[in-house]
Every structure is written in structure tokens, then in C-alpha cells.
Structure 1
Amino acid sequence: MEKQMPIVAFLYDFDKTLCTTDMQDYAFIPSLGMTPAEFWALANGFGRQHRIDGILAYMYTMIRESERKNLPFTRQDLVEKGRGIVLFPGVQNWFRRINEFGAAQGVQVEHYIISSGLREIIEGSPISGEFKEIYASEFYYDENGRPVWPKLAVNFTAKTQFVYRINKGVLDVSDDKTLNDSMPDDSKRVPFTNMVYMGDGLSDVPCMKMMRAYGGRAIAVYQDSNRMGVEDLLAKGRVDFIFKADYSEGTALDLTVKNIIRKMAISDQLWEENTQQLRSIGGDVLPNQVGLF
């Protein structure tokens, strides 16, 4: 039987990580006749007034304002609004290039989204097909395609749940039992040491700290508007690297990510060699951990 290649998983925030601003700002908010500043002030103010989770507050505000202005609000309408998303330079062909580089190093690269934005809008973007799974906030819709309840709300700390799902290979969000079952480290589908989390700011800190604690890598990207905040994350040891949000071939981001993949691939190869030797003498096999090799 052919041996399965080791998996390297890239976990991305979406807004201001792969695209230039909040995904609702491109088409949805203008359709309400509002500016982004007006909408977010309204949603955040509503959340504070009623002590509602910020993600649930913005989702409710989207429904309320659409109804108030008699505007269509269906799943398909939101997907269509994702067509206008503006991606950072190099993002559109990033996934193909990184996949090909990983394969050349002997690893299988997978990409995941973990976002507080809306899955429906992400699905309308030109890169939606690049991801093994999209974990993002989402509505449940009735038979007419109208939202009636939040299906999933992904706030900043809830993001870490999905890191564990990817680690264990339990991708179905309704399957909590398998997620919470005990599982030996050497049987987990994607070791934490083979994960890279990419985000843009404080909302990503829980996942970034998790990566650093468990041997993965954390990268923050920036635009001029948030460069100081990202530099602060680096200074405080919350991320491993920071880069300008340019995913083009040959950029510092591109080259460093390839070096990370190369190192993870070598670590996996050395672990496999060590495992074979231990098994040949009847020794105990240790989990694959960066730092052992």
C-alpha cells in the first residue's frame, strides 16, 4: 500500500488577511445605502447595548437592516455579493504555487479558512474552491432561502475549536463526540507542528498563541493601516513572522512560507527514519514534534 504523504495545513483568517477589508464592506453594506463606518457602528452599538456577542450582533443587524429597507436577503444573494471581494496581490494563484512546492518537498498541502466573516460571501469569492473546509459564520435558511437563525457564529476565541478539528480530522461541526474523544498524538491527522496560521491582528491572537504553544507557526500580514499593530504582535512574541500582505511569487512572505514547508517536510522525514529504527529494535515511538529533530 502506498504511504500517505505527510500533511501541512495552512489556516487563514479571511478579512484583511486574504482580502483587503471586511468582506461585508465590498457589496453588502453599500447595498444598504450605508458606509462601512455607519454599519459597523450600528452593529457594534446594538451588541453593546444588549450584551450580545459581536458576531451575532452583526449577523442580526444584516437581517434587520435588509428587512427594514425591503432588500433581498437570501443565501444566493450573499454568495453573489462575494464576487466583488478584492484579494491581495498574488492570492489568486498562491494556493496552486504552494501546493506544487509542497508536493515537490514530499508533503501534501491543505488550506482552511477560520473566519468571523460569512461563509456565504466567501463562497462567492474566486478562491472558495481552494479550501478543504471553510469555517466561518453562517445562517440557517428556510425553504425560500431566507435566513432564520445563525447556523454557526465564529468569534475570536471560538476559532481555536476549528484548529482542534483540523488536528484530529473531525471536520463536521456537528460532530462534538469524536472531537472530544481521546486520540493518541501519533494518530491525529495533522500534527500541530505541521500547521501554519495566517492572520492580521488581535482577533487572531488565540489561534496564533495556540500555534506557538504547540510547535506550529504563526504569521501576521499587514497593510500600512495596521502595520504598527502587527509589529506589536511580533515584539510581544505572539507571532513568528510579519509580512506585507503580498502573496506574489518571490516576496518575503512567499520565500519564508516555502522555508517553513521545507523544514516541516525534513522534520517529518527524520521522524519517519527514527520511527523505522525504533520499530526495528522494539523501542517506543515518540510523537512527531518539532525540536526533536
Structure 2
Amino acid sequence: MDKQRPIVAFLYDFDKTLCTTDMEDYAFIPRLGMTPREFWSKANGFGHANRMDGILAYMYTMIRESEQRDLPFTRESLREMGRDIVLFPGVREWFGRINAFGDSQGVQVEHYIISSGLREIIEGSAISGEFKEIYASEFYYDGAGKPVWPKLTVNFTAKTQFVYRINKGVLDVSDDKTLNDSMPDDSKRVPFTNMVYMGDGLSDVPCMKMMRAYGGQAIAVYQESNRVGVEDLLAKGRVDFIFPADYSEGTALDQTVKNIIRKMAIADRLWNENVQQLRTIGGDVLPDQVGLF
């Protein structure tokens, strides 16, 4: 890891974190002639009746309902639906501004998605190019672009594996061997202490708890509709900060994130100074000194 240019990684949920509702609600469900309540009730009911993982249940329901109505359901049709996503205020400008601030503090900022939604829809959104990697549920497609099998599913607890992938720099989901290989803490690409997870509710709690346990930061954003639930997360010590879902420059969210980047940049410089002093006197850098600050 380049100690002259430490990495600060922002990990985001997508639905109701960067956009205003579930991504399927914008274009996919209206094309079925259903309301979101009707679709999700059917998908969840199917899952419960068949003792099926909820993510697999909604992916299957998407295919089934589209086929019953003879509607196109391909990789490209899903990407087109991403154009209808409505982002929270300031989201489009957020990434460039935070990247530039990181540069001013001597750190490299990276952005990742960890979502139970569909990768294909996210890829069609206006911000898809901002992310180093998008981890989201995804179909495997045949030569005609039609889904034939789930390629990846990201349920709430499975989200945590992708935090470890980012930590070690093993981003290829097919590479489990390297992910599980032993690796010294000081050789990991992004220390947990340099991570910020941003979500909106209970589905993000496993990742938020990881952040708090390993020295990263957890932030929950809210709309009025979920404000009480997010306040409960703060009261129970499951997140570090909560803010309205407004990413505009000068908001409390913007200012706090910049303070977090400052803190992480300073901690990294102090760590390097400590290591240099130890090496100067011939001392060893002990495992428990990694991430000391």
C-alpha cells in the first residue's frame, strides 16, 4: 500500500441512500402496471411461501411478471431503466467534490456500491461511472441478453464480504482463494480505519457494525419517512452520525464527511511518523501498532 497516498474508501448502499426509493419502483414496476406495494407484496409472499432468500425471490418475480406480460426483460432494458432514477440533492456533484477534497488532504478517495438492488439498473444511472466497483445483485445472461440464472445476489448479511474484498483489494467476486488467504494488516489495500459506510436503515446494520467494530465510520441518511428508524440506529449506537439525505455542498453531511477525511489523513500521517521513528532506532513495527491511530 502506498503510504504516501493513502486510500479512503466510501461504501454506499444505493436505494434510499443515493436515490429516493427502491430502484425498481421508478420504471420497472410501473411498466408492469403494478404499484410498488403490489409488486413487493407478491415478491415477498413468494419468497416466504417457498422459504427462499428474499433477493432471489424478487429477482425471480421480476422475470416471471415480465414474461406473463410479454414485456422485454434484458440486460439492456434494465440499464435503460436506470435513466429514470431520481437522485437525492447534490449526489451528482458529490463525488467530484469529495475526490477533490481528498486530494487537498493528501489522500485518494474511492467510491464503491454494495447494494441488494440490481447492478444493471445502477449501471444505467447517471452516476455509474463514479464507482471503482459496483457490488449488487446481478443476472447471468444468454447470447440474446436474456437472464437465465442469478449471477450474484447481495442480501443484507452477505454485504459484509464485499467490505473484506475492498479491505484486501480483492475485488473480483470469483476470487475466493485470495480473499481467504492470510494477509498482514499493514499490507491490506484499504484499512478498515479508512472506510466510511453510508446507508439508510436496518439492511445496512451488518456493514455499519463492522465499521464501528474495526475503527471505520458509519453514516445513516434519512428522509422524513424513515427518520424515526434512523434516529433509533443512532440511539442504539449502531451508527456514528445521521443526516438528512442532502449531499449538497455546505450541508452538515458534507462538512462532517470532510472532517472525517481530515481525521483519516492525519491518522495516516501520524502512523507513518511512528513507523519511521521505530525503523530509525531499529525497532519492529508490531501488529498491534497497525491502525494505532
Q: Following TM superposition, by how much is the alpha carbon of 1:285 offset from its aligned partner in structure 2, in angstroms? A: 1.4
- In structure 1, how many angstroms separate the alpha carbons of the residues matched to 2:270 and 2:168? 22
| Partner of residue 251, structure 2 | 251
Q: Aligned with 2:73: secondary structure?
A: coil
Runs of 4 or more, structure 1, over 6 Å off, are: none
Asked if 1:145 is matched to 2:140, the reply is no
| Partner of residue 217, structure 1 | 217
Cα RMSD, aligned residues only: 1.0
| Partner of residue 99, structure 1 | 99
| Partner of residue 10, structure 1 | 10
Q: Pick closer, same or farther for the CA change 1:242–1:250 going to 2, 3 Å.
A: same
| Partner of residue 268, structure 1 | 268
| Partner of residue 128, structure 1 | 128
| Partner of residue 157, structure 1 | 157
* Mapping 1:140-219, distance limit 5 Å: 140-219=140-219
* Mapping 1:32-47, distance limit 5 Å: 32-47=32-47
Q: Following TM superposition, by how much is the alpha carbon of 1:281 offset from its aligned partner in structure 2, in angstroms? A: 1.1
**Partner amino acid, structure 1, of 2:59:** M
* Mapping 1:70-81, distance limit 5 Å: 70-81=70-81
**Partner amino acid, structure 1, of 2:182:** S
- In structure 1, how many angstroms separate the alpha carbons of the residues matched to 2:64 and 2:247? 37
* Mapping 1:20-99, distance limit 5 Å: 20-99=20-99
| Partner of residue 114, structure 2 | 114
Is residue 8–residue 110 contact of structure 2 (8 Å, CA) maintained in 1?
Answer: yes
Gaps of 5+ in 1: none
Task: Describe the superposition over 1:107-131 as per-residue Cα deviations: whole angstroms up to 9, x where unpaired.
Answer: 0000000000000000000000000
Q: Following TM superposition, by how much is the alpha carbon of 1:4 offset from its aligned partner in structure 2, in angstroms? A: 4.5
Is residue 119–residue 137 contact of structure 2 (8 Å, CA) maintained in 1?
Answer: yes
- In structure 1, how many angstroms separate the alpha carbons of the residues matched to 2:47 and 2:290? 42
- In structure 1, how many angstroms separate the alpha carbons of the residues matched to 2:56 and 2:276? 50
Q: Following TM superposition, by how much is the alpha carbon of 1:3 offset from its aligned partner in structure 2, in angstroms? A: 6.0
Q: Aligned with 2:282: secondary structure?
A: coil
**Partner amino acid, structure 1, of 2:12:** Y
Is residue 215–residue 289 contact of structure 1 (8 Å, CA) maintained in 2?
Answer: no
Is residue 23–residue 85 contact of structure 2 (8 Å, CA) maintained in 1?
Answer: yes
Q: Following TM superposition, by how much is the alpha carbon of 1:289 offset from its aligned partner in structure 2, in angstroms? A: 5.2
Could you tell me the percent identity over the aligned residues? 85
- In structure 2, how many angstroms separate the alpha carbons of the residues matched to 1:207 and 1:283? 36
Q: Aligned with 2:248: secondary structure?
A: coil
- In structure 1, how many angstroms separate the alpha carbons of the residues matched to 2:142 and 2:283? 57
Q: Aligned with 2:273: secondary structure?
A: helix
TM-score, length basis structure 1: 0.98
**Partner amino acid, structure 2, of 1:129:** G
Task: Describe the superposition over 1:184-215 as per-residue Cα deviations: whole angstroms up to 9, x where unpaired.
Answer: 00000000000000000000000000000000
Q: Pick closer, same or farther for the CA change 1:120–1:229 going to 2, 3 Å.
A: same
Task: Describe the superposition over 1:156-182 as per-residue Cα deviations: whole angstroms up to 9, x where unpaired.
Answer: 000000000000000000000000000
TM-score, length basis structure 2: 0.98
Q: Following TM superposition, by how much is the alpha carbon of 1:286 offset from its aligned partner in structure 2, in angstroms? A: 4.0
Gaps of 5+ in 2: none
- In structure 1, how many angstroms separate the alpha carbons of the residues matched to 2:3 and 2:41? 53
Is residue 193–residue 289 contact of structure 1 (8 Å, CA) maintained in 2?
Answer: no
- In structure 2, how many angstroms separate the alpha carbons of the residues matched to 1:163 and 1:35? 34
Task: Describe the superposition over 1:236-264 as per-residue Cα deviations: whole angstroms up to 9, x where unpaired.
Answer: 00000000000000000000000000000
- In structure 2, how many angstroms separate the alpha carbons of the residues matched to 1:285 and 1:67? 60
- In structure 1, how many angstroms separate the alpha carbons of the residues matched to 2:100 and 2:197? 19
